[in-house]
Amino acid sequence: MRKVVVLEHISLDGVIQAPGGPEEDTSGGFAHGGWIAAYSDPMLGTLLRRQMNLPFDLLLGRKTYEIWAPYWPHHGEIWPGVNAATKYVASRTLTSGAWQPAVFLSRDIAEKVAEIKQQPGPDLHVWGSGNLVQTLLKHDLIDAFWLMIYPLTLGSGKRLFADGTLPAAFKVTESAVTPTGVIVVNYERAGAVTTGSL
């Protein structure tokens, strides 16, 4: 079975919006785009490259696909495999695109993702795609989070965990702290939430 792995740059207060640049996603008046730039260092680069070099297909929301489609076909040397990977794109409006191979999922996204998970193939990596991640969370379709947690708060913006997140337990399978203070951590599902008293 294929796993859905959500990979996100995230602030201490849970914001995932527009980490890469000022114009990446200004929706809602977000004015802090490019907030990860000050934290780049060789260790983070090494960890990112290792993750990016794993076998994968992409599961993306429409906005992320539209941001990436003009860029990656001309910069594939940075991310081996990104152009050959199948892009599963969740969108109510987009039905085709030049960045191929791509499969466009227009309705019943959760049901379609559940079906794709049962098919043979590499794990499905979700980068960005905040709205899609909310759908996946609400339908308990995420198997792992690979998070880069940055030592700053942003106060506003799209958050990773919003209303509708189902209770679930996770275990840390790998972690590191970069010299600039970014915590890189892999969380994998560990069953249901257990409760008790101390």
Q: For residue 101, what is the domain's CATH number?
A: 3.40.430.10
Is there a contact between 7 and 136 (Cβ–Cβ < 8 Å)?
A: no
pLDDT of the residue at 107: 86
Q: How many domains does the chain have?
A: 1
Task: Assess if residue 194 is contained within a domain.
Answer: no
Sequence-distant (≥ 6) Cβ neighbours of residue 76 within 8 angstroms = 82, 83
Is 0.75 topped by the overall pTM? Answer: yes
- How far is residue 62 from each of residues 126, 128, 192, measured CA to CA in Å? 12, 10, 31
Task: Decide if 35 is inside a domain.
Answer: yes
Which residues are bridge partners to 9 per DSSP? Answer: 148
195 within some domain: no
SS3 for 35?
A: coil
In a domain? residue 197 = no
Give the pLDDT of residue 154.
98
Domain for residue 198, yes or no? no
Residues of the chain with pLDDT under 70: none
Q: Is 90 exposed, middle or buried (0-12, 13-18, 19+ CB in 10 A)?
A: buried
Whole domain around residue 10: which residue ranges? 4-189
**Would you state the pLDDT for residue 164?**
80
pLDDT given at position 111: 96
The answer as to whether 54 is a domain residue is yes
Which residues have a Cβ under 8 Å from the Cβ of 187 and sit 6 or more positions away?
A: 144, 145, 146, 147, 170, 171, 172, 173
Would you state the structure tokens that stand for residue 113, as one six-digit string? 């993702």
Asked if residue 109 belongs to a domain, the reply is: yes
